[in-house]
Amino acid sequence: MRTLNVLLVDDEEGIRLGIKRVLQKFILEIPEFEEQISFEVEAVDSVSGFLSAIKDKKFDLYVLDYLLKDGNGVDLLKKINSPSPQVTIMISAHSTLSLTIEATKNGAFDFIIKPFGPSEIKAAVKRAVEYFLLLERNENFEREKKKIRFEFISVLAHELKSPINAIESYLNLMVESYLGDKLSEYANIISRSKSRIQDMRKLITDLLDLTRIEAGSRNRVIEEINLKEILSNCVESVNFQAQKRGIIIKSIVDGELLMFADKTDMEILLNNLLTNAVKYNVDNGSVDISIRRDISDSDSEKIFIECSDSGIGIAEEDQKKLFGEFSRVKNDKTRNIAGSGLGLSIVKKVLSYYDGEINLESKVNFGSKFSIVLNEIKGK
C-alpha cells in the first residue's frame, strides 16, 4: 500500500477534524494503476501554517479553503512550486464563476462547495488521486524518454567519432609523409579511409531511415510491386562485396511475385537481410534467400521471406538483444566488421506496417536463418 501526504488548510476546526477523520480511514483502490492508496493528513488553519508546513515537507495532495483569516486559498495556490506532481482541491462556502475560473487558472484541479459530506470529499479525493497518478506516470515517461534519448545520442556520437578519429590519423600520416613522398605508398590507408567514410554514410542513412519511420514522415506509397525484381536489384547491390570474398548468393522467388506494398519498405527489408548475410559470412560461403506466397488462408495472403547464410552465427544470449537500436554482436569474429547496429531494428519497424514478424535461428560457426512473415496490404 502506498501513502500520499495531504495538506489540509481550513480555519474551521470542525471542517479540519471531519476531513482528517474521513481521509485517515479511507483506503482507495485504483485498479487501472494497480495502486492501493492510504492518506497521511496534516491540518493547519492559516496561511502562516501552510507556509511553515510546505517548508519542510513535500505534499502530494492539497485541500485548500478559499477564505482564510489571514488570506485566501488562491494565493496559496501560487506558492505551491514543487517540481514533482501535486494536485489541489479547493473548498468554499461560496461558489461563483469568477472564483472557479481564478482558482482553475492558478492550478486548482477540483472545487467542492460547503457543506459537504464524507461521500463528496471521498469522490473529490478519488478524482484528484487518479489525476495525480496520471501526472506521475507521465513524468516518469518523460524522464525515461530523456534517458533513452541521451543514451541514443551517446552511442551515436561514439559510432561517428570512431571512424572520424581513424580517418584523421590516416590523414596525419599523409601530412607528415610518414610512408614517403609517393602517393602510391598511401594506397592502403586511402582505401581504409574510404571504407570508414562508407561506414559513416551507412550509419547516417540507417539513422535517417529510422528517424523517418519513427516520425511517420516518409511518404509511403502502397502499390502493386514486383518482389522478384526488387530482390534482383538488392542482390546486385551486394554482389560486388560478396564476389570479393567468394560468397555465392542464390535467390528463389515464386514466379513474378506481385504484392501490394511500399517499394522502399521492401528494399529496406531485403537490403538489410542480404547485407548482414554477406557481412557476417565466412569467405567462400553462401547466402540463400527465397520469397514465396501462401494463399491457404482465404482471409489474408501472407508473404514468406527466408534468408540463410553459412556465416559465423550468433550465440543464443546475443540473439535476444539483436533487434534493439545500436545493438551489435561484439566478439573476436565481429571486431573488424563495421556496422551501424540499426539495420535489424529498422527491419522490425518496417514489419510493423504489415503486421509482420521475424524469427531467427542461429548457431555459432554454423550460420543464421532469418524467417519473415508479411501480411499483404490489399490494393484498392
How many whole angstroms separate alpha carbon 365 and alpha carbon 185?
A: 37
In a 13 Å sphere around the CA of 309, the CA atoms on its Cβ side amount to 26
Q: For 241-259, what is each residue's pLDDT tens digit?
A: 899 899 999 998 877 788 8
How far apart, in Å, are the Cα atoms of 226 and each of 150, 266, 291? 41, 10, 11
Task: Compute the C-alpha angle 195/339/226, nearest 5°.
Answer: 100
Please choose, from the candidates 68, 35, 38, the residue with its C-alpha nearest in 3D space to the C-alpha of residue 50. Answer: 68
Res. 219: pLDDT tops 80 = no
pLDDT score, position 154: 67
User: Span 253-267, mean pLDDT?
Assistant: 87
All structural domains of the chain with their residue ranges: 2-143, 223-375
In a 13 Å sphere around the CA of 324, the CA atoms on its Cβ side amount to 12
Q: For 119-131, what is each residue's pLDDT tens digit?
A: 999 999 999 999 9
Res. 326: pLDDT tops 70 = no
CATH code: domain 223-375 is 3.30.565.10
The residues facing 90 across adjacent strands are 64, 111
- The residue with cell 502530494 is 60
What's the CATH fold of domain 2-143? Rossmann fold (3.40.50)
pLDDT score, position 379: 52
Residue 370, C-beta contacts closer than 8 angstroms, at least 6 positions apart:
273, 305, 306, 307, 308, 358, 359, 360
How many whole angstroms separate alpha carbon 14 and alpha carbon 233?
A: 82
How many whole angstroms separate alpha carbon 281 and alpha carbon 309?
A: 7
- Does this model's pTM top 0.75? no
Confidence band of 26 (pLDDT split at 50, 70, 90): very high
Mean per-residue pLDDT of the chain:
83
How many whole angstroms separate alpha carbon 64 and alpha carbon 74?
A: 8
Res. 76: pLDDT tops 70 = yes
Q: Worst-scoring range by mean pLDDT, 47-61, 74-88, 146-160, 185-199?
A: 146-160
Res. 325: pLDDT tops 60 = no
Percent of the chain scored above 90 by pLDDT?
A: 28
Res. 287: pLDDT tops 90 = yes
The secondary structure of residue 292, as a DSSP letter, is: E
How many whole angstroms separate alpha carbon 38 and alpha carbon 29?
A: 9
Question: How many residues are listed for the chain in this entry?
Answer: 380
The residues facing 309 across adjacent strands are 287
pLDDT score, position 304: 92
- What is the three-class DSSP state of 162? helix
Confidence band of 380 (pLDDT split at 50, 70, 90): very low
- Work out the end-to-end distance of the chain between its first and last CA atoms, rounded to an integer number of angstroms: 54
Alpha helices in the chain (DSSP H): 13-24, 47-56, 73-79, 97-105, 118-175, 187-215, 227-244, 263-279, 316-319, 343-352
User: Span 230-237, mean pLDDT?
Assistant: 91
Please choose, from the candidates 365, 327, 330, the residue with its C-alpha nearest in 3D space to the C-alpha of residue 347. Answer: 327
User: Span 270-275, mean pLDDT?
Assistant: 90
Higher pLDDT, 200 or 44: 44
pLDDT score, position 241: 85
Q: What single-letter amino acid sits at 265?
A: D
